[in-house]
Structure 1
Amino acid sequence: MTFDAAQNIDDLASFVQAAPTSFHAAAEAARRLNTAGFTALNEEEAWASDVATGKHYVVRDGAIIAWAGAPTAAKASGYRILGAHTDSPSFKLKPQSSVRSFTWNQVGVEVYGGPLLNSWLDRELCIAGRLVTAIDGTLTSHLVKTAPVARIPQLAIHLDRDANNGLKLDKQGNIYPVWGAGDSTGDVLGYLASHTENGAIDPEKIVGYDLLLADTQAPRVFGENQEFFASGRLDNLSSVHAGLTALTRFTASDAYASAQHTVILAAFDHEEIGSESRSGAAGSFLEDILVRLSVARGESTEEHRRSIAESFCLSSDAGHLLHPNYAGHHDPRVRPAPAAGPLLKINANQRYATDALGAGTFALACQKTGVPYQEFVSNNNVPCGSTIGPITATRLGIRTVDVGLGLLSMHSAREMCHVDDAAYLTRAIEGFFAL
């Protein structure tokens, strides 16, 4: 099937705008999967014996796992898993988040993950996430997303003459956004209760919430030849979108009809804060799905373990391109470039899970689809972060390789990539599903 990079980046822009939080990302992924013929399953219900074949998905809070098992997939045939994460660095609302400061109404927040704090200043922000109500003993979640309502204003240079010599932000005192003034009530939850996606709810019934700030500036292409793409949350909605697109394209191809394995998209939450949650990669979500699929397929314990041994996970998370203004922060020889393909991420201390066989498997996936790729390794003096890759490999024993889209400005409120690289990543994942 043909693949148009410009159409892909427009679709990525639409996906990012629909997903200001992990909960919205899971909901938008589910909507797209429904359109592609996938069926939602409830973890709390018994599953029929045919769930191991066909196209299905499960949403767990801000995470989603989708799979497609061809009718020809046999016992102990293994899985091809694309792992990604739905969350991004941001600011999360605290309890008692309505704050009155002099004549200003502010929102009390704490830092979520590791954002570049200065990049969030002087931007118009929305509040989004989920509200939980209790009515007659029943808990119900409500997605919410406001228009631009908040801003973290920077102190004027006249009042801080040294700001350009190194801005330092106090995480308690300097990052509370303003969102009202004068005699307005400043009741954050009351305001949000009237802006849920399915209509207003009674704010008195709210018993819990997971709410974050998100930049509202629309994604856009730019550059001499419109070759660059700027957007919030590319880390890591770029991988979630690429996995979704590759999954729906693969399941519509002839290769799927005769596949001997099952393909899976596992988009976890909470990677930016360590993945240690029931919807994070360190939790049991993926293992629970694999065990239930094994039972549905009628595998014995030995066949299930053989299936795990036959499996492979592509952990896709954003990586770093060479920054032209800070070349000294990169390895002097391994210098990833824009439009040169997705990154194969390597680390001697297994902060990335890539090994030689994993690298070879990714090379075959790229070769299958005619996609270039390039290696990434850190400068020895600049330790790299980690991903869901080592967690997945450790927790499940599945061979895993770390890859991802190359970015500049990672963890900024607005990151950037090359349009072609986003298309290359999607095609590489599609090739991986076909291996």
Structure 2
Amino acid sequence: MAKQETNSDGSSVVSDLIHFLNASPTAFHAVDEAKRRLRNVGYVQVCEREDWKLEPGKRYFFTRNHTTIVAFAIGKKYVAGNGFYVIGAHTDSPCIKLKPNSKVTKGGFLEIGVQPYGGGLWHTWFDRDLTVAGRLIVRDEKDGSVSFSHRLVRIEEPIMRVPTLAIHLDRNVNSDGFKVNTQSHLLPILATSVKAELNKVIAKIGPDGNGETDGKKSTIYSKHHSILLEMIASQIGCKPDDICDFELQACDTQPSIIGGAAKEFVFSGRLDNLCMSFCSLKALIDATSSESDLEDESGVRMVALFDHEEVGSDSAQGAGSPVMLDALSRITSSFKSDSKLLQKAIQRSFLVSADMAHALHPNYMERHEDNHQPKMHGGLVIKHNANQRYATNSITSFLFREIASKHNLPVQDFVVRNDMPCGSTIGPILASGVGIRTVDVGAPQLSMHSIREMCAVDDVKHSYEHFKAFFLEFSHLDAKIAVDM
């Protein structure tokens, strides 16, 4: 049995979160880090393109698009038709992504054409030291044979910036507010044209910068600045001409840290929702790491981390896709081929939809409903909405709260003000699409969707402990409550 990377005490959980955040500038990297952690403790990867041969007491995972990952551990007493105990979260966060043609030259500057992804607080992206990270499609040629590989890339140092306009040129910005036109104002500056010429980066591909290499035009150079392509290629050890395509995004270079006068906060980007992704993943690993953990388990313990939640989940790898239903179906049918058993399994299953929650903001207290003001250090927040923007009901909230009570873990409730719109999560999407009982929860945080967010160290610990207790005890607790009987 592989050794776990950290102990389960509170301080190690938080330091482990910091490591996870710093290793995960994009959804691609978050899934890659999740894969590494799962493999280190003995989880085996299965492929959706192939047949699965699964066994009770074994642990598996699969990925889709390398931005969604599903990991599951099958109880030793599992039989087809038994339930799945799932924590679902998401790997994506609001950011600015490079356009397919990112090459922009204005006023003597080389800029990067970007488009906003999700509902970000875009003013927070100004005056930050930025870099790029993401996925490349690279041409590999060996012995006259050509193949194409998926490669992850991350440039560590700051290479670009979105500068604000000086107040002298916008005297009313403080009174009228900082209004961002994402088409014209959000372009990062990469270099000056003069400096790029002096460094002879453009000269490497022809005097016009259009990619004349050995008399043959390179399409990739016509779409993106050569200086950017050279840096990306150097990072992964290939030639710029071997880069066929990419999905890159701008990333803040400031690392995630523990801060505050009492060292009580986590300061980081992407807490929404990598914090919940990490806590659920670590809880699953620690609840399935030994042979005895699955000895009396009759169900399947699962974590599903989806892409594209921030833009509605409607993609081949989002929560609105068949990913979850496919996983439940394939696991069930691996043990017995009977379509009725899947329907029975779904009704015996339970989903914890884990997405960060809004903590009470001391400077905007009027934005919270008086009786529902989640506090930092107060534990996981159970989210309620009568109009089903969250999928919580009295049964699902009771079950989740009962686990907390048994372990002396704090729990809070959240309802949005009646005169404000309510956000949503993957919870209602999976509840309606799969038919699975669902509770919506999340750790409280401030600055949600900013480039730099914050949450409490204590709530990271509470979340991990609550999720781990859910995996260890839910099947026994669920047997004690009768509904629809």
TM range (shorter): over 0.9
- How many Å apart are 1:333 and its aligned residue? 1.6
Which residue of 55, 59, 62 corresponds with 1:55? Answer: 59
Q: Match of 1:157, as an amino acid?
A: I
1:228 has 2:265 as partner: yes
Look up the match of 2:79. 74
Say which of 96, 101, 108 aligns to 1:103: 108
Match of 2:149 in 1: 140
* Consecutive unaligned residues in structure 1, runs of 5 or more: none
Deviations 1:272-318 (A, max 9, x none): 01101111000111211111111111152122211111000000001
Find 2:302's aligned residue among 264, 270, 282.
264
Q: Is the 8 A contact 1:79 1:312 kept in 2?
A: yes
Structure 1 residues 401 and 137: alpha-carbon distance in aligned structure 2, compared to 1, 3 A threshold: farther
In 1: Cα distance, 2:337 partner to 2:362 partner: 53
1:322 Cα offset (Å):
0.6
Q: Is 1:242 paired with 2:247? A: no
**Residue 356 to residue 2, structure 1, CA distance change in 2 (3 Å):** farther
Q: Determine the C-alpha separation between the residues in 2 that align with 1:3 and 1:289.
A: 29
> Does the 8 Å CA contact 2:57/2:294 hold for their aligned counterparts?
no
Distance 1:324 1:76, change over 3 A: same
1:337-368 per-position Cα deviation (integer Å, ceiling 9, x unaligned): 11010110111111111011110111122123
TM-score by length of 2: 0.86
Which of these residues, 386, 391, 398, is aligned with residue 424 of structure 2? Answer: 386
Over aligned residue pairs, what C-alpha RMSD do you find? 1.7
AA aligned opposite 1:229: V
2:253 is the alignment partner of 1:216: yes
Structure 2 unaligned blocks of 5 or more: 1-5, 197-201, 203-224, 475-485
Map 1:285-296 → 2, pairs under 5 A: 285-296=323-334
Q: Return the offset for 1:53.
A: 4.4
TM-superposed deviation, 1:2: 7.7
Q: Give the 3-state SS of the residue equivalent to 1:194 in structure 2.
A: helix
CA distance in 1 between partners of 2:332 and 2:84 (Å): 11
Letter in 2 for 1:80: Y
Structure 1 runs of 4+ with >4 Å offset? 134-137
Please, which of 357, 360, 363 is the counterpart of residue 319 of structure 1? 357
The residue aligned with 1:153 is 163
Give the number of equivalent residue pairs. Answer: 432
Residues 350-365 of structure 1 aligned to structure 2 (within 5 Å): 350-365=388-403
Q: What amino acid is aligned across from residue 289 of structure 2 in structure 1?
A: A
- Say which SS state the counterpart of residue 250 (structure 2) adopts: strand
Matched AA of 1:402: D
> How far off is 1:137 after superposition?
6.0
Amino acid at match of 1:194: A
Q: 2:186 aligns with which of 169, 172, 175?
A: 175
- Aligned-residue sequence identity (percent) comes to 38
Asked if residue 345 in structure 1 is aligned to residue 383 in structure 2, the reply is yes
Deviation at 1:212, TM superposition (A): 0.8
Provide TM-score, normalisation by structure 1. Answer: 0.96
Write the distance in 2 (CA, Å) between the matches of 1:134 and 1:368.
Answer: 55
The alpha carbon displacement at 1:134 in A equals: 4.4
CA distance in 1, matches of 2:408, 2:338: 39
For residue 15 of structure 1, what is the amino acid of its counterpart?
F
String of CA shifts for 1:35-66, please: whole Å, max 9, x gaps.
1110111211222243x641111011211000
Partner of residue 17, structure 1: 22
Higher Cα Rg, which structure: 2
**Amino acid across the alignment from 1:223:** G
Q: Note the C-alpha offset of 1:417.
A: 0.6
Distance 1:323 1:72 in 2: 47
CA contact (8 A) 1:98 1:187 kept: no
